[in-house]
Amino acid sequence: MIPVTKPYLPAREKLDKYIDGIYEREWLTNNGPLVQELTKRLEEYLGVENLLLVSNGTLALQIAYRALGVSTTNRDEKPEAITTPFTFVATASSLKWEGVEPVFADIDPDTWCLDPKNIEKAITPQTKAIVPVHVFGNACEVEAIDEIANKHGLKVIYDAAHAFGVNYKGESLLRHGDAATLSFHATKLFHTIEGGAIVFKRKEDLETAKKMMSFGITGPDAIEELGINAKMNEFQAAMGLCVLDEMEENLKARATVWHRYERELSQSLQLQVKSEDQDYNYAYFPVVFESEERALKITEDLKKNGVSVRRYFYPSLDSVECLGARSPQPISKNIASRILCLPVYTTLEENEQESTLNLLVNSLSN
């Protein structure tokens, strides 16, 4: 079976050297030297400051909400955050988990990112934040979103899980918003097996988050506030350092796969429209078919022939019952019903991609 993705596994010899060092130091967690090294190297690689490593991407969102005062422990408050229904469920469920009601606004039909035109009309007196998503690494309309947030006094937390290494207008896309969160899950372009990070605009928010991520403990005998355990460990950091060492090789291989799909499919299928002011990290290759029936038929045809594709993102979150009753968002529902992500990973062989394309084209013609 050709999977839709595979984790990138760096050279085992390099990982073994890092692990040998962990055994020698016997320092496994609590801001160990490898976590400190990875923090510094990621700030340099990404061109950002105030980066905090955490144990996964969902906790990155939750810590960001808490550090920026979006979520609350006051049960009488009913804060809301405006977000997109076209995203992985964690974007919205992390809000709900933190006692913040996700209020969905519809997406742009071409970029698939949260449409700024739909944000302002969703604002209520309870709105405390906007949580947009750089969908498949495609930059949101950050200037328009900033303007709305400044006008209404709202925080902006970008879910940038797909936007590792993406630059916009010559600087890191992660520099936009009050915070941007990253996922370092094993299937991501850059990973630490499990893990994540938050990039804060302000250092004082970083310092607040540091306290929260370690139980609120600030010293041997001091607990200053309510906290949680969101620390990255040394084994995660070791994997991250190895993957980062080989990032250019990883990107080059993905770009080759991505551009071939683009050449072969851009005339017959709807592709995501990307911002002209950004570069791209080739993390995903989504395509949209003429109908949901066609997308489901393609999925079944490819599966029968040993190729896995994914309906990503499906379903549109405005239809997910556990997130609460929501007004329908028709553009998101329409795109979600017709989208498939094709196999993209570093070790995808040329003949495997050829087979995938041939099966797809044949299925389209039937």
Q: Are 42 and 172 in contact (CB under 8 A)?
A: no
| Local confidence band at 279 (pLDDT 50, 70, 90 cut-offs) | very high
Nearest to 5 by CA among 357, 363, 348: 348
Span 242-265, average pLDDT: 97
Residues 6+ apart with CB under 8 A from 337: 292, 295, 314, 316
Compute the distance between CA of residue 254 and CA of residue 347 in angstroms, rounded to an integer.
Answer: 9
Please determine, for residue 343, whether its predicted confidence score (pLDDT) is greater than 80: yes
| pLDDT value of residue 276 | 87
| pLDDT value of residue 77 | 81
Told to judge if 188 belongs to the known catalytic residues of this protein, a careful annotator would answer yes
Last residue of a domain, one of 212, 244, 276: 244
Name the residue type at position 296: L
Please determine, for residue 325, whether its predicted confidence score (pLDDT) is greater than 80: no
Sign of the alpha-carbon torsion through 176, 181, 187, 193: positive
Compute the distance between CA of residue 28 and CA of residue 32 in angstroms, rounded to an integer.
Answer: 7
**Residue 215 half-sphere exposure, CB side, CA atoms within 13 Å?**
8
| Local confidence band at 83 (pLDDT 50, 70, 90 cut-offs) | very high
Compute the distance between CA of residue 227 and CA of residue 209 in angstroms, rounded to an integer.
Answer: 9
Position 208 in a domain: yes
Domain with 198 in it: what CATH number?
3.40.640.10
- Mean of the per-residue pLDDT values for the chain? 96
Domain with 300 in it: what CATH number?
3.90.1150.10
Range of the domain at 71: 12-244
At CA 274, angle to CA 303 and CA 130, rounded to 5?
Answer: 100
Running DSSP on this structure, what letter comes out for residue 214?
A: B
181 and 270 in a common domain = no
Position 3 in a domain: no
Please determine, for residue 73, whether its predicted confidence score (pLDDT) is greater than 90: no
Q: What percent of the chain has pLDDT over 90?
A: 93
Position 5 in a domain: no
- This prediction has a pTM of 0.96
| pLDDT value of residue 296 | 97
Compute the distance between CA of residue 258 and CA of residue 246 in angstroms, rounded to an integer.
Answer: 19
| pLDDT value of residue 326 | 76
Helix (H, G, I), strand (E, B) or coil at 109: coil
| pLDDT value of residue 225 | 85
220 and 261 in a common domain = no
Last residue of a domain, one of 199, 216, 244: 244
267 and 231 in a common domain = no
| Local confidence band at 366 (pLDDT 50, 70, 90 cut-offs) | confident
Please determine, for residue 136, whether its predicted confidence score (pLDDT) is greater than 80: yes
187 and 89 in a common domain = yes
| pLDDT value of residue 324 | 83
* Cα–Cα distances in angstroms (integers) from residue 247 to residues 47, 106, 109, 271, in the given order: 15, 34, 32, 25
Position 7 in a domain: no
Nearest to 265 by CA among 348, 346, 364, 352: 364
Set 128, 188, 211, 333: catalytic member: 188
Which has the minimum average pLDDT: 11-15, 151-155, 220-224, 255-259? 220-224
Domains in the chain: how many in total? 2
213 and 70 in a common domain = yes
208 and 325 in a common domain = no
Please determine, for residue 138, whether its predicted confidence score (pLDDT) is greater than 80: yes
